[in-house]
């Protein structure tokens, strides 16, 4: 072997090692330090939909606590908890954190958040159970409800008209008749047209059918949670969901609803099940929507096969103060302002539902969110089990539903597999 080839080998190896070492570097975020600085982690929803509320809260807070600097940092839902875990393991923690109501329980059982006194907050006696219950542990409250959203049926008024339909369906048989009419009118000419948009991994929708049939995700006996997806009622609900999907959805079944507004914006969907803001997003070019669709969406309480409205998942947010925060008093004052009566009014204007039943009455019943307010009474939340967050993050439900939707496994087999996987993690901290 010549000297030069050896040189090439040596150089190549060195380059490879360096590249390998570089790949191991990882980025880390931290929060600022200092006793007179309050760090608030909100998710991007606040930045996109009610930045003025954050602004006005900070102004009001500054009047009460002059000299305290409030730094609001916006987080993505997908990466927020990883960053939070890293921050909580250290000393520099945020003082206020926004948490999803289905992910907060695991943090409570692991002593991550400080207790708060509900009496200090507006309307705390009327807090929505879907937001209040995840915050409670052993008789104490560890987070403050922020806002909630409920999914509703959303349809294209122009397509309804063209198909000869005059109004939104009130009952499940009416829904089926309408979907048949839409499918016959548009689906025959366009193979990419879905009368109903229902991707396979859309677990908030699928589990709403499970709940409608009287099924449960998991049940608690004693202090142990057990997954109940393969019980007859749960299976019956998933069957109804699968039938609907088979009949009216033609798109990719292994997707989730992450890009729903963009897909609806393509114009090949007549009806979908979603948050009310998604109707606006579908007409907003910034989120992939089509501005030509502006004003062509209306909402209705999505009827369930059982006869009532389909029970919606009440996905919402809480605000919590980490135990390690050095500014707990200030943090609680900030949350108090951010969630008080006036702030909730602003949130209602942004088409969310308020954190309490008293102000639910303020939601305009004829408005875009009126249907959501109506459906919210039947709303459900994910099981407040210590290990629930692991169930969500390990995509157990999504995989089960994808297997059902694509026909890879029968409903019975897929739910049994999921039960086994859920039972393995649901009771663990």
Partner 1 sequence: MPARRPGGARRARRATPYLLIAPMVGTLLLVLGYPLVDMVLLSFKDMTRKQLFAGTAPPWVGLDQYRTVLSDGFFWEVVARTVAFAVVCAGLTMLCGLAFALLLRAVSAWVRVVLVGVLVAVWAMPFMVAASVFRWLSDADYGVVNWLLGRVTGADFRGHNWFSDPWQGFAVIVAVVVWGAIPFAAITLHAALTQVPAELEEAARVDGARGVALFRHVTFPMIRPLFTVVAALSAIWDFGAFSQIWLMRGGQPERDYYLLGVYSFIESFAVNRYSVGAAIALVTVVLLLGGSAVYLRQVLRTGEVE
Residues at the site binding partner 1, with contacts judged by CB under 8 A? 1-2, 4-6, 8-9, 12-13, 16, 20-21, 24-25, 78, 82, 85, 88-89, 106-107, 109-112, 191-192, 201, 250-256, 258, 263, 323-324, 389-390, 393-395, 398-399, 402, 406, 408, 425, 428-429
Q: 332 burial class (0-12, 13-18, 19+ CB within 10 angstroms)?
A: buried
Cβ of residue 138: shortest distance to partner 1, in angstroms? 15
| Cross-strand bridge partners of residue 226 | 219
**How many Cα atoms sit within 13 Å of 69 on the Cβ side?**
8
Instruction: Give which of 361, 225, 375 is closest to 315, Cα–Cα.
Output: 375
21 Cβ partners below 8 Å, 6+ apart? none
**Least distance to partner 1, CB of residue 71, Å:** 22
CB 357 to partner 1: min, Å:
33
* Least distance CB 425 / partner 1 (angstroms): 6
150 membership: H or E segment, kind and range: strand 144-150
Residue 81, both tokens: 């908890």
Give the full edge-to-edge strand order of the sheet including 96-100.
Answer: 69-75, 37-43, 96-100, 314-320, 144-150
Q: In the complex, what is the shortest distance from the CB of residue 387 to partner 1, in angstroms, rounded to a whole number?
A: 8
Nearer to partner 1, 122 or 402 (CB): 402
**Which of 33, 428 has the CB closer to partner 1?**
428
Instruction: Please state, in angstroms and as integers, the Cα–Cα distance from residue 224 to each residue in 282, 383, 426, following that order.
Output: 42, 12, 9
- Could you tell me the smallest distance in angstroms from the CB atom of residue 89 to partner 1? 5
Taking CA atoms, 68 is separated from 63, 113, 121, 219, 331, in Å, by 10, 22, 21, 46, 11
Q: Which is nearer to partner 1, 224 or 406 (by Cβ)?
A: 406
Cβ 95 to partner 1 shortest distance, Å: 15
Strand partners of residue 137: 140
Residue number, 329 or 428, with CB nearest to partner 1: 428
* Strands 297-300 and 152-156, sheet pairing: antiparallel
Q: Give the integer Cα–Cα distance in Å for 312 and 269.
A: 21
- Minimum Å gap between C-beta 18 and partner 1 is 9
Q: Which is nearer to partner 1, 60 or 226 (CB)?
A: 226
Name which of 326 and 349 has its Cβ closer to partner 1.
326
- Using the minimum distance from each CB to partner 1, give the nearer residue, 107 or 297: 107
Integer Cα distance of 44 and 30 in angstroms: 18
Report, in Å, the least distance between residue 299 CB and partner 1: 25
Q: Is 196 left (phi over 0), alpha (psi -120 to 50) or beta?
A: beta
Closest approach of partner 1 to the CB of residue 356, in Å:
30
Nearer to partner 1, 70 or 422 (CB): 422
> Quick check: 101 and 131 in contact, CB under 8 A?
yes
> Which of 368, 412, 359, 306 is closest to 147 using CA atoms?
359
Kindly tell me which of 14 and 62 has the beta carbon lying closer to partner 1.
14
Nearer to partner 1, 87 or 337 (CB): 87
């Amino acid at each position: 072997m010549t000297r030069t080839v050896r040189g090439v080998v040596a150089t190549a190896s060195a380059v490879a090692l360096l590249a390998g070492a570089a790949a191991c570097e990882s980025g880390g975020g931290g929060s600022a330090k200092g006793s007179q600085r309050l760090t608030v982690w909100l998710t991007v929803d606040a930045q996109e939909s009610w930045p003025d509320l954050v602004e006005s809260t900070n102004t009001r807070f500054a009047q009460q606590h002059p000299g305290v600097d409030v730094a609001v940092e916006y987080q993505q839902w997908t990466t927020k908890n990883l960053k939070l875990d890293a921050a909580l393991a250290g000393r520099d923690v945020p003082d206020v954190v926004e948490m999803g109501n289905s992910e907060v329980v695991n943090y409570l059982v692991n002593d991550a958040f400080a207790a708060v006194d509900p009496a200090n907050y507006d309307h705390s006696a009327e807090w929505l159970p879907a937001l209040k219950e995840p915050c409670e542990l052993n008789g104490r409250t560890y987070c403050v409800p922020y806002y909630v959203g409920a999914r509703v049926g959303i349809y294209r008024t122009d397509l309804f008209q063209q198909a000869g339909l005059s109004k939104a369906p009130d009952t499940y048989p009416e829904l089926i008749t309408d979907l048949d009419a839409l499918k016959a009118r548009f689906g025959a000419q366009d193979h990419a047209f879905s009368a109903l948009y229902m991707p396979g991994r859309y677990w908030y929708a699928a589990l709403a059918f499970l709940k409608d049939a009287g099924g449960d995700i998991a049940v608690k006996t004693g202090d142990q949670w057990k997954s109940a997806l393969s019980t007859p009622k749960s299976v019956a609900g998933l069957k109804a969901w699968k039938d609907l999907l088979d009949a009216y959805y033609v798109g990719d079944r292994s997707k989730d609803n992450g890009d729903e507004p963009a897909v609806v914006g393509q114009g090949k969907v007549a009806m979908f099940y979603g948050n009310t803001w998604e109707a606006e997003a579908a007409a907003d070019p910034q989120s992939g929507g089509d501005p030509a669709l502006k004003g062509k969406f209306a909402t209705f309480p999505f009827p369930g096969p059982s006869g009532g409205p389909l029970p919606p998942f009440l996905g919402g947010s809480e605000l919590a103060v980490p135990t390690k925060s050095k500014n707990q008093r200030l943090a609680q004052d900030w949350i108090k302002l951010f969630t008080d009566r006036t702030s909730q009014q602003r949130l209602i204007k942004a088409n969310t539902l308020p954190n309490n039943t008293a102000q639910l009455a303020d939601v305009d019943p004829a408005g875009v969110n009126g249907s959501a307010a109506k459906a919210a009474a039947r709303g459900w939340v994910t099981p407040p089990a210590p290990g629930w967050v692991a169930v969500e993050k390990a995509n157990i439900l999504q995989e089960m539903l994808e297997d059902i939707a694509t026909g890879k496994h029968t409903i019975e087999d897929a739910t049994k597999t999921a039960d086994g996987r859920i039972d393995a993690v649901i009771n663990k901290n």
